[in-house]
Each structure stands twice: as C-alpha cells, then as structure tokens.
Amino acid sequence: MNIEELMNNEDDANQKPQESPLILLKKDLDIYKDSLKQVALEIRLEGLSEHPIFIAHQHEVSLGEIILDRKELGTEWTIQVSTFEEFMTRGIIQESKKDVFLYSYKNPDEFACVFVVVPEGANFVFIPY
C-alpha cells in the first residue's frame, strides 16, 4: 500500500508555511501527550493490542480512528489511533519487517509510537510522554 492511498489529497490553503510542520507537530504532541498516554493504556487494558500506534497528519488519512481533531481543537495536526495489527492487515508494515518493528517498538507506558504522515512520505517516531 502506498502512502498516497491513505491520504485524501485535500488542498489545505490554511496551512502556515512559515513554521516547519515538524516543529508544529512537537508543539501539538506536547498538548496531546496526556491524552495519548491514556488512550494507549486503554487499548492495552481492553486487550485490543499491545502495540498502539498513533497517526499524526494534516490532511485526511483512511487509517485508524480520529481521537484528536485539529479542526475542533484549533491545533495543526490531527491524531488518529490504530494498532500494529491494523498496520499489518493493511500492508503498511510488511510481514518481512514484522519482527524488526516489534523489536524497535518502545515501551508504550513511556513512549507514544507515532506514524507521521506528510506529503513527502511517512515514518515512525517514538515520542516520550
């Protein structure tokens, strides 16, 4: 699956080009971190997954469920939540990379696993709460 398939190429003329999107993401994650930690805990306690994954984006992404909407909150990034299992099912994490991903996955009590989606591509980062 290509990253382009996950994104609805909505023209977002309201973006602020003067500040790096990643700087804005860090600011938003500082605001969201307590909520992210709580959602990760609930996913694990409910037995949905031992590996929650948050998706950060500024467009539309057809993956997971929206938990923090930038339009409603007046922030720059929307955060959705998914799981390792959905990433495997959707082919975002390939079977051949499964063990590498799980080995690299950090303790979800201390770190949020964030799949950052930008027009140029996407990557996983681990952000301490």
For residue 35, what is the enclosing H or E element?
helix 21-45
Q: How confident is the model at residue 20 (pLDDT cuts 50, 70, 90)?
A: confident
> What is the model's pLDDT at position 126?
95
Q: How far is CA 69 from the centre of its chain?
A: 12
DSSP for residue 61 = E
pLDDT tens per residue across span 84-127: 999 999 999 999 999 999 999 999 999 999 999 998 899 999 99
Tokens of 71: 């339009």
More reliable by pLDDT, 11 or 120: 120
Half-sphere exposure of 70 (CA within 13 A, CB side): 20
pLDDT tens per residue across span 36-70: 999 999 999 999 999 999 999 998 899 999 999 99
Q: How confident is the model at residue 8 (pLDDT cuts 50, 70, 90)?
A: low
Residue boundaries of the structural domains of the chain = 21-124
